Every structure is written in C-alpha cells, then in structure tokens.
Structure 1
Amino acid sequence: MSSRTLSGMTRGDNDQPVVLSKIYTRTGDDGTTGLGDMSRTRKTDPRLAAYADVEEANAAVGVALATGGLPVEIAETLTLIQNELFDVGADLCTPVTKNPEFPPLRVTQAYIDRLEAQCDRFNADLKPLRSFILPGGDQATAQLHVARTVVRRAERTTWSALEAHDDVNPLTATYLNRLSDLMFILCRVSAAGAEILWKPGATRLAAPASGLRNAGREAAGETREDAG
C-alpha cells in the first residue's frame, strides 16, 4: 500500500471497504504523508520505507504472474499472497494502539501458519539441494527470483521500522520472512528441476558459460524431464 493510497480515501461497505475519491491531493508536497490512523509523518520515516518495499514486492509478484508461464497451483497461491501483501501494507501504515475504537486490519499468527503450511506442501516433492541456486531459468522463474529478493528487502526494512518505532506489529516482519522462504520454494517448483547450482570458485577455472550451466545441472542431479 502506497502512501498515496491513503489520501482521498474513505470507508465503504463490507464488499468495498476502500473508496478512492481522488488520486492527487497536494497534501504531501511538504514531505509528509498520512498514515492509516490519519496522523502524518515524514516521507523519510522507516515505516514508509517498509510498506513501500511491501508494495514493490507485490508489484514484482504481479509481473511474475503476468508472464503466464507459471503452473496453475503457483499462480493461484501468488494471487492470494498479493492480497495478503496489501494486508501487510495496511498493517504497517497504521500505528499499533491499545484498545482502538475501530480495530484496524492486523497480520496475525494465522497468516504465518498458512505460509508455513504452503511451504511444507510445495517443498514435499522437491529433492534436497546440494548447493545454492543461480537465479534464472525461464522468464517466469527468473521473475519469481526477483520477487523473492524484493520480499527479503521488505523484511529488512520492516525490521528497521520495528527498531525505529514501538508501535509496529512485529508479525509483519515474521510474515515477510516466511514469505521469502515460500517464494524460494516456488522458484524451485517452477524450475521443475532445471536449476543451475552455484559452483564456488568456478570462474577461477575460466570455464565457458555453457560448461558452467551443464556442470550446475549435473550437480543438481536431475533435469526438467526427470522432474516431470
């Protein structure tokens, strides 16, 4: 959720909880932005960096989906994750208070439990790795790797927000940590066994790129056809 989203926003009904009546408001021209509780803060606030990175992660997931090359099960999972990332952003942009009159949307342990269950489900059929993976593969898998690294950054900036403020929900950082794990697993599932593994110091041997790719596949111990 971007800071811009909070401006000109009103509450709707249960089916349409947010109504955007105006996109530009000029209220942020002084370097401040509105938070979910209608207070204002500087745009350099670590809290804003956190939910801005969450928004970027959501956009990166959207690009991966737009490639159209992901298995249906992964695509459906990512669509649910996109909605949850909006929940994370909504949580981060609303300072935690005791006994609020109108309880805001918060990330709970149930969000994390769902991610862990998905990690276990998708990881069950994968073979153990014998090295780290070089990010890449087909277009969809490569974009998933990009999304994964943006999620990792979002987790780091969320921890920075937690260090700067005592009114940030720590479960948002936990959620992003588990999501980065799930994204890594989904990258492996999408690659279908055609992963290229890191060979420490391989460039010292001046091996051609094609040789490095073949060696990586051999180290993985499987091919896309084998994985099918």
Structure 2
Amino acid sequence: MVVLNRIYTRTGDGGDTALGNGTRVAKNAARVEAYGTVDETNATLGLARLHAEGEADAALARIQNDLFDLGADLCRPDMAADARAEYPPLRVTPAQVTRLETEIDAMNAHLAPLRSFVLPGGSALAAHLHLCRTVSRRAERLCVALAAEEEVNPAAVKYLNRLSDWFFVASRVANGNGADDVLWVPGANR
C-alpha cells in the first residue's frame, strides 16, 4: 500500500533521488528520465480523458493505471533480486501487452486503410491522443536507451511500443473512425 503523508522531503535538494529499491541516483539518470517520461505520458493522457466518454474513457483509465505499473517497474532495477525481495516489485506483464494488441485490432477492424500519413488533429480527443502518442514514443526511446545500459523488463519496452500504436489507432477512431482524419498532402505548400 502507498501512504503519502508528507509530500516534500528535501532529500532530493542536492539533485539526486531514490529508486524503488532505495538506491540514490542523479535526477537526470537514464532510469529516472525513462520513468519520468512515462509519467509525462500519463499526464498527457489525463488531458485526453477530458474529451473522452464511455468505453473510450474506460480504456484510457486502464492505460493510466498501466502507466503507473510501468513507472513502478522502471523505478525498481535489479530484476534478479525480485525473488529475494520482501515485497516483490510490480512488473509489467506480457498480458498487458496482449491486451493492447487485442484492443488495437478491435479498433482497427472498423477503419479504412490509410492512403497517406495522418497529421495530428481533427477532434480534440484525437489531437490529445496524438500528443500521447509522441510522448509515449519518447518514453520508449528512453527505455530502449536504458535497456542498452541496464537491465529492463522486456515487457515494459514492448508495452510502450504497442501503446503508441494504440494511441494512433484510437486517434483515428476519435476522428469519426478515420472519416475526419487530417491527411498529409506531400508538397502541398510548394
């Protein structure tokens, strides 16, 4: 259980922070950059939810919760120690990745194939989902960079890869199932 009864601690005033296992690292460490950008993705998703209703909002709420799982996963290095930990760390699972894939396939089944790239825009929800897509892509790049240097749960990287695809397809659904997509016209302003 999480208990937050004090918000500021002053322990990070020198430019370092604690990971989930208590290790202190610089606030600009690759791991902190990665889970910080996952948190940023979650914040952009909160803005998108202001424009979502019904099942779309419920799906976005599930993803917001997953993003907290992902942040908890990334802030806890040393996966080999998981079995020995008093409290096993929360890890993103392949089932969470599969759920995104299933949802992408279900949404995409109702969309016409694209004949051009889609410009971010259309409805307010679609525009916000495009922002979520780009921020989640940055989070993915940071996780890939982190994984090149340190151990990272492979499902965490896969989740971010599928998530940006999910946001893209959901943006098309939010644009009248693609009818209101704003398409790129190459060289239109030459």
User: What range is the shorter-chain TM-score in?
Assistant: over 0.9
User: Which residue does the alignment assign to 1:149?
Assistant: 134
Describe how 1:88-167 pairs up with structure 2 within 5 A: 88-98=70-80, 99-101=83-85, 102-166=87-151
User: CA shift at 1:97, angstroms?
Assistant: 3.1
| 1:200 counterpart = 2:186 | yes
Q: 1:73 aligns with which of 50, 55, 58?
A: 55
Equivalent residue number for residue 30 of structure 1: 14
Please provide the CA RMSD for this pair. Answer: 1.1
Superposed displacement of residue 164, structure 1: 2.2
* Among candidates 64, 88, 92, match of residue 82 of structure 1: 64
Q: CA offsets per residue over residues 47-89 of structure 1, 9 Å max, x none?
A: 000001000000001001113xx34221110010000000000
Unmatched segments (≥5 aa) in structure 2: none
Deviations 1:78-120 (A, max 9, x none): 0100000000000000013322223110011111111111111
% identical aligned pairs: 50
* Residue 170 of structure 1, aligned match among 150, 154, 177: 154
Change (3 A) 1:148 1:85: same
Distance 1:157 1:125 in 2: 33
Map 1:181-200 onto structure 2 (within 5 A): 181-192=165-176, 193-200=179-186
Q: After superposition, what is the alpha-carbon deviation per residue over 1:131-186, rounded to whole angstroms, capped at 9, x for unaligned?
A: 100111122211111111111111111111111213x2122111000000010000
Question: Partner of 1:20: helix, strand, or coil?
Answer: coil
Which whole-Å CA distance do the structure 1 matches of 2:115 and 2:123 have between them?
21
Which structure ranks higher in relative contact order (CA pairs < 8 Å, sequence separation ≥ 6)?
2
Amino acid at match of 2:189: T
**Aligned mates of 1:112, 1:33 — CA distance in 2:** 29
| SS at 2:25 equivalent | strand
Cα distance in structure 1, aligned partners of 2:79 and 2:9: 27
Name the larger-Rg structure: 1
> 1:20 is matched with which residue?
4
TM-score by length of 2: 0.94
CA distance in 1, matches of 2:189, 2:84: 58
Q: TM-score, normalised by structure 1?
A: 0.78
